[in-house]
Amino acid sequence: MTRPARTFYGLRHGATDWNREGRFQGRTDNPLNDDGLRQAREAAHVLRGVGISRIVASPLVRAARTAEIIADVIAVPLAIDDGIIEFDFGSFEGLPVRDLMIKHGVKSATGLVSILPADGESWDAMAGRSLACVSGWLARHPDDNLLFVCHDAVMQAMANALCGSYFKNSHGTPFRYLHEDALWRIEQVVT
């Protein structure tokens, strides 16, 4: 699996109605709701002084719109890349996450990953494509401080592959995937 060579930033898109309803959203292209638009504007203000010089976003409208709002505020270029599109949840798409966790007796992100349906994307394949996407952008733009605006599953898969664990990821909250002394850690960006 390709691993990024340096630090980068990640941001989960602002909220949608399906997020608020607790549904598996995957590739369903739902727009931001009012909360999501507010979260995108707030993220832009948090990121204003961080030094982001380029943004790469998933093509799904919830991520692309979040990225547009941030790019407008901090005045940096924005590109869209399918490599960080959300996980394909297959037959789980649109179903309530909590109900399926209860049905299958799982209580954590690790447990949730263990019950994903076979008719969706492979978790490992998604982690691989996402890390390859990030690594490619970092290699092509060695002087840029990059922000990837994408999705919870994508960010969680990258975190688990790099750090060996998942993390609490909220809508519109920027995180730094920090590479120091050959180790990775994830920290929330605060101003």
**Strand arrangement, sheet containing 78-80:** 78-80, 54-57, 146-150, 8-12, 174-180, 183-188
Angle at 121 between CA 120 and CA 126, to 5 degrees: 155
Q: Is 86 a catalytic residue?
A: yes
Whether 13 is catalytic:
yes
Question: For residue 183, what are the contacts with CB-CB under 8 A and spacing of at least 6?
Answer: none
Catalytic residue among 13, 121, 151, 171: 13
Which of the residues 42, 86, 179, 187 is marked catalytic?
A: 86
Q: How far apart are CA 109 and CA 188, in angstroms?
A: 19
Indicate the length of the chain as a whole number: 191
**What tokens does 32 get?**
């931001």
45 CB neighbour count, 10 Å cutoff: 12
Active site residues: 13, 86
